[in-house]
Chain A
Amino acid sequence: MDTQHLDQLLAKLADHTTMWARLPIKDKIQYLTEVRQATLANAQRWVDAETKAKQLQAGSPLVGAEAWLAGPYGVVAWLSASIQTLTDLNTDADLLEHVKLRRSVDGTLVARVLPYDVYEELLFHGVTADVWMQDGVTEQNLRQNMAGFYRREDPEGKLALVLGAGNVSAIVPLDILDRMINCGEVVICKMNPVNEYLGPIFEDVFAQLIRDGYLAFVYGGADVGEYLTRHDAVQAIHITGSARTHDLVVYGPGEDGERRKAADDRVVGKPINSELGGVGGTIVLPGPWTDADFRYQADHAVTQKLHNSGHNCVASQVLILPADWDGRAKMLQQVRRGLDDSEPRPAYYPGTEQRLSALQQAEPAAEVLGGGAKRVFVADLDPGLDHYGFRNEFFAPAMVTTSLPGDAAEFLRHAVEFCNDRLYGTLSVNLIVHPKTRRELGEEFDRAIAALRYGGIGINAWSAAAFLIPRAAWGAYPGHTYTDVQSGIGVVHNALMFDKPLKTVVSAPFHPFPRSITAGENTLFPKPPWFLTNKTSESTARKLTEFAAAPSAAKLPALFASALRG
């Protein structure tokens, strides 16, 4: 480890903290514009590198679903949204001009952040995203609870360390941008060995910020990470990864670390934000489903598991079915089919095989599906027991199911309680609900959403959408502590810069277009491009990326043509 090099880099960055913090907004907009330009210029290279690293087959829908959407698209969409916010701040425009506010059934203030404009209305027809605010935030004081950094007079600024792990390639750039733009901090980013192949691409994407002394990338193993986390020049840390990594950083390794954790005696005293995953659940509500619905929703559930081959913090791991629903067996059968049929791919992420074996040892009833591609499936776990799969994030292609009793309303209450109390973490949860069931449940359904203690909630949508929707807040539900960190502390993305978000709720139509029309939902949203079975996802995701960089009506026909053929 070249500590002299690290010291020099840190000294140079530390020299620029105040300058960056006080740099006029106009200049920050210019930097973001340049980052966006460079992202577009490097997008294909980025996608190609990721396709290779994840051993995807060329032409596979996964290239669109994983590499494009959760890579360049996510970054470009965020940059455009952030540039809009900064422009509004710079011209004293109302940040909430395009945001509808309402109160939820439990009185929480809710801001609709998608659709934000007419383009989003068209592109994501029938999809909505709401950011719920913490207690005490009202219609009257929301504006005073936004863009807190930009309301400070003469901020000193800070140097933040971003520990960029994670398997979704947009995470590292978005974490950097969150610290730099939303928090006003200069950043040193240490790439994790798992994704360091993206480092040179990111260095080109952020070239101007690096050149001007506001950002640096470094590489190396745990020793470099430890050196940086404990360095005096580093004033704040953002971690993406596991709770284990978090505890290692905060309390140190081994027995000493455990002792320190028990006493909350931190070796690193600086503020640490984190996004650490968890055990994601998908609650399936009973309803009058057709065969097409079973097939589509099972594909959706499998997508939520097998995207990135299961190596996602936001993967759905526990399928929660209504015990008394006559569709239960059919859903299980369709999920098995989906796991079996999905495109085979190597388990490229380190440690996957060990994690799968640990599950198999814990659950002797585990089935292995997927032919050559090992996918572990355990059906019908007892909801009353503390199963391994309820407490441990697999981060691997593995899924379990459980069932809870009652009619739709009763089942939903049980399911909310089960997710809140029995599943580890608070990052994300999903619900699959037929429009008729939702209508019948009425306010009962809204109460369930209000009661779910999760940072990201997806209704007929994968909660991962909250990761990609730039104005949504992404992170754990508030309340975790260093000693019991679970899904982490703090949020990222959040391009509207809400200072006190509680959670994000994304909702989409149950039926994809065109079945949505015949089924009476009247929405135009087709099979989403993140579906593993979407045939045109690569072209759709590329066109979406270009559109997000510079929206124009002229680009819409080709985008729709691609999306609707998926």
Chain B
Amino acid sequence: MTSFDYIVVGAGSAGAVVAARLSESPDNKVLLIEAGGSHRHMNVQVPAAFSKQFKTKLDWAYFSEPEQYLGGRRIFMPRAKMLGGCSSMNAMIYIRGNKADYDTWAKDGAAGWSYADVLPLFRKSENNSRGADEYHGDNGPLYVQDLRSPNAMSLKLVEAIAATGLEANDDFNGADQLGTGLYQVTQRRGMRWTTADGYIKPARKRGNFSVLTNTLVLRVRIDNGAAVGVEAERDGQVGFIRATREVIVSAGAINTPQLLMLSGVGPADHLAEHGVSVIVDNPNVGDHYMDHPMFLVNVEATAKGTLHEAESPKWLLTYLTRRTGLLTSNIGEAGAFFHTRSGDAAPDMQYICAPGYFYDHGFRTYPAPAVGIGCSLVGAQSTGHVRLRSSDPKDRPAITANYLKEPEDMQAMIAAVERVRQVVASEPLRGLVGREIHPGGDTSSRQALDKVIRREVEHTYHPACTARIGTESSGVVDPQLRVHGVQRLRVADASVFPVIPHGNTNAPTVMVGEKAAAMIAATA
């Protein structure tokens, strides 16, 4: 029988990190299992093409259950199914969240997760092209760079947002998150940089590190209260792989709770309903689902050089020969963090600005140049849950996000859209923008905005918190990320966030991977 010291399930933004770091010690025999395959694909490498991965074989392509507060819409939820996970699919925006996020986690019981605790891990993972300082690292596996060819329209959008009363901010991950500026991105020389590139590739040179791709983990086997390995399927063959020390589940905030439930860890009545034997009754598994709802305002642009032209042969050639130009755009080039209301420790709203039309996950096109300004509600309060649809590991899980359940969430969203209208009307954009495409000029009243937002809102692809750090009665894992009630089983991915951070979630997820590896190493 095959056996490893550590088995990591899921080669994504956290799993790749955990597995690669554990393999740095030659004593550890590490196996990383990934359901998908390689990330070597043009639509992964070319930054501007990320949304072309959606609904392909690179994507789990989930849909939510009918969302009660969105008129029964089932929301599309792309989740990367390949090496690097969503670091191979995301819009590459490098944002850590707000200092207050981590300090709140720690204050509420997640010992060891304060900003002061996690900053060294962010720095450890980072290789920032601007060099090292008290906030940034320049020696880690994760390349973080300024956009090579920022779009002139993105710079104008930053100016316009500033004109509505926000300070310019050239480092959202530095001293203060508030303000407007260009995002730094996980790219290297104009190409996407993933955790597969930064962590898995170098680890593969080590003799103690193995990767199994195209392999679906069906369940974690738990004997006498301890994880002993995983049952996995590859090419139709099911086998058991033993883990002598630990199993680390890093399957993401949707697949991680699904796998825990399939393994007998979850709400007892729900598991019983699907014929799964209960090992640990914990109603928190799959619960507290959080994400950032996003509504995209799109406005026609009269300026030349927007992403409307990105697919022309000229820009393909420029990309192929020089790794510059429109195709190096991560679409969401510029943005801002600000408050729509008082009382939040961190800005509750983020703008993600695209120098081109972006709507319906990129599935819709528009025949003219445009700019898209996404209002990402990073201070969202609404929570949902992930449940099983059946005990078949190949059946997709039942996801309920409950987007915009809380009235405060809708108020913040409306305020953000109203502010976008001020941005568009401001002096720096004069003569550069035209008619509003979405939501459209006829939606001026709050009531009309409420209706159109519920009808059109999507999200920022940030599912989290479904196996959160907490006590046995409030969470799924302890601050060491150990699953309550099961020995030798940890979770390391965005599921463990006690509350979703105020910003894009890839960087915090990489940090969780770093911290998990460090904690495991410390206890081994």
Contacts and interface: CB of A to CB of B under 8 A. Distances in A.
B40 interface: no
Interface stretch (B69-77, B207-215, B254-262, B407-415): B69-77
5 contacts: A16-B72, A19-B66, A19-B72, A23-B73, A27-B73
Task: Pick the 8 closest A-B CB pairs, nearest first.
Answer: A19-B72, A212-B66, A27-B73, A23-B72, A22-B71, A24-B455, A27-B74, A19-B71
A212 B63 CA distance: 12
A91 interface: yes
Nearest to B65: A212
A26 interface: yes
A23 B63 contact: no
A462 interface: no
Interface of B: 63, 65-66, 71-74, 76, 360, 364, 455-456
Tell me which of B73, B360, B364, B455 has the highest count of chain A C-beta atoms within 10 A of its own C-beta: B73
A522 to B, nearest CB: 39
B72 A20 contact: yes
Interface in A25-44: 26-27, 30
A110 to B, nearest CB: 31
Contacts of A16: 72
Contacts of B73: 23-24, 27
A27 B74 CA distance: 7
Given A30-B63, A212-B66, A23 B71 contact: yes
Contacts of A26: 360
A338 to B, nearest CB: 49
Tell me which of A16, A20, A23, A212 has the highest count of chain B C-beta atoms within 10 A of its own C-beta: A23
A23 B455 CA distance: 8
Nearest to A22: B71
A19 B66 CA distance: 10
Contacts of B74: 27, 30, 212
A24 B360 CA distance: 12
A91 B364 contact: yes
Contacts of A212: 65-66, 72, 74
A19 B68 CA distance: 10
A286 B14 CA distance: 79
Nearest to B75: A27
Nearest to A19: B72
B319 to A, nearest CB: 28
Nearest to A213: B66
A26 B63 CA distance: 13
B69 to A, nearest CB: 12
Contacts of A27: 72-74
A213 B72 CA distance: 10
Nearest to B455: A24
A210 B73 CA distance: 15
A22 B73 CA distance: 10
Contacts of B456: 24
A16 B66 CA distance: 11
Tell me which of A19, A20, A22, A27 has the highest count of chain B C-beta atoms within 10 A of its own C-beta: A27
Contacts of A19: 66, 71-72
Tell me which of B63, B66, B360, B456 has the highest count of chain A C-beta atoms within 10 A of its own C-beta: B66
A124 to B, nearest CB: 30
Contacts of A20: 72
Contacts of B364: 91
Nearest to A26: B360
B361 to A, nearest CB: 10
Nearest to B66: A212
Contacts of A23: 71-73
Nearest to A91: B364
A224 to B, nearest CB: 28
Given A27-B73, A30-B74, 4 more contacts: A20-B72, A24-B73, A91-B364, A212-B74
Contacts of B71: 19, 22-24
Nearest to A23: B72
Nearest to B68: A19
Contacts of A91: 364
A36 to B, nearest CB: 14
A91 B72 CA distance: 21
Contacts of B66: 19, 212-213
A538 to B, nearest CB: 28
A512 to B, nearest CB: 41
A30 B74 CA distance: 9
A30 B64 CA distance: 12
Contacts of A22: 71
A434 B364 CA distance: 49
A23 B71 CA distance: 7
Contacts of B72: 16, 19-20, 23, 27, 212
Contacts of B455: 24
B259 to A, nearest CB: 22
A471 B71 CA distance: 30
B392 to A, nearest CB: 13
A189 B65 CA distance: 23
Contacts of B63: 30
A26 B76 CA distance: 11
Contacts of A213: 66
Interface in A206-264: 212-213
Interface in A167-216: 212-213
A19 B65 CA distance: 14
